[in-house]
A and B are shown apart, each in its own frame.
Chain A
Amino acid sequence: MSVRVEQASKWIYAGVWGILSRWFRVPEHPPALPSSSGTSVESFKPAIGFLKYLKFQFWVGLFAIDLTIFVVELIILVNAPTMGLLLLVPALFFAIVPDVIIYLAIHLRYDTTWYVLSDRSLRIRRGIWIIHETTITFENVQNVSVHQGPLQRWYGIANVSIETAGGGGQQSHGEGNPWQTSHCGLIEGVADAHRIRELIMSRLKQSRSAGLGDEELTPARSGWTSEQIATLREIRDLIATS
């Protein structure tokens, strides 16, 4: 029985995906990141614990809302039976349909979230209706922070946020979606947050020594122009010959 249910749900899910990718042009593959040859590009999804975490929140929410609907319906049914019977259908509708949609949306959200890391940059794709892709080079990263709540710890996941210079981070952007903040790339719900943090920080340190160099070497090397050096050489030769 449960196998059949699983089969059916998989089938429905594949159908929904088919519609999304065909009609709503949701890309099925992870985003590509241009990189120099010979370097590895790693693309991954959030950990499976993230899906469980979202589902846990979903079940808690479902329980709370459906319990409220049930209690209200029961009260009406006891006090006004005809009214209660009339309201039974919409009550059932509101108890079931949004849950199915939200449950599907959780799966879709999980499957449309992609993180791509190359040796120089990262790219994050998120979203179903509005697909949002963020690209940041490690050269521009200012700090990396890891956040983990108690529930997330239970599921063994954490969020890594990678911030670049510039104002208007998460704090001042509270009204919108937390992942559409500017100057910040949020890698949500990964099991190996510390590995990713180390990965980015090591690349950050590497680029600090070499990558920033190509910015700072420029004035250092051109501190003396060729004419100045030529003049100096002339002076030396003049003194030497006189």
Chain B
Amino acid sequence: MTIPSDDQSLPTFDPTSIERPDESLVRYYGLVSLLSGPFFPFAFIPLYLKYMTLRYKFDDSGVSMSWGILFRREIHLTYRRIQDIHLTRNIVQRWMGLATVAIQTASGSSGPEMSIEGVLRADELRDYLYRQMRGARGESEPTMTGSIQVIPSDDPLTLLREIRDLLQEKCSSDGRAS
């Protein structure tokens, strides 16, 4: 009943078009900063700067994000190396239609390597990432290997054997001739 189908009125989800977080993220950051009470500016300014400089780039092999003004951070990872995906939505995020998609690779840190914030339709982003993950697709589907057309007779071993046999033949005939 809740199986997502693409035939809804929404346009099909295209993660490659995502470059900036949604505007509601800055409102969410504002609300979160309000929790710190009198320290609101100290909490909000870094988050606001992060929002202003946050850039995403989804391509067909991986995803990268960068942010920061003074201290810049960039994270790049490939879809194939994703270990687990966590989708977290707290109550405020649910109200605003936001979510945090945390991606983990097999590196040593216990925290997520990348947490994508401020993407609307995070469910679809998560499912897109899931489909790119190792082991999510069927084995029957073609994988991205170098498309070398290897016919059985072109097997290097048979070729080498043939060469050896030919050379042997040649050597023995030469030996007899001399």
Contacts and interface: CB of A to CB of B under 8 A. Distances in A.
B1 interface: yes
A167 B148 contact: no
In the complex, the 9 A-B pairs of residues with the closest C-beta atoms, listed nearest first: A168-B110, A139-B135, A165-B106, A167-B108, A137-B135, A25-B94, A133-B87, A166-B106, A239-B166
Given A172-B110, A181-B110, A225-B148, 9 more contacts: A131-B90, A136-B83, A140-B106, A164-B83, A166-B107, A166-B110, A167-B108, A211-B135, A222-B148
Interface of B: 1-4, 82-91, 94-95, 104-112, 126-127, 130-131, 133-139, 143, 145-146, 148-150, 154, 156, 159-160, 162-163, 166-167, 170
Contacts of B90: 129-131
Given A135-B126, A137-B135, A233 B154 contact: yes
Contact of B139 (A26, A31, A211): A211
A140 B84 contact: yes
Contacts of A236: 159, 162-163, 166
Nearest to A24: B91
A173 B2 CA distance: 33
Contacts of B154: 229, 233
Contacts, number: 159
A167 B107 CA distance: 7
18 contacts: A25-B94, A32-B4, A121-B135, A133-B126, A134-B84, A134-B87, A137-B135, A139-B135, A140-B133, A166-B83, A167-B107, A168-B108, A181-B110, A218-B145, A222-B148, A224-B156, A229-B154, A239-B167
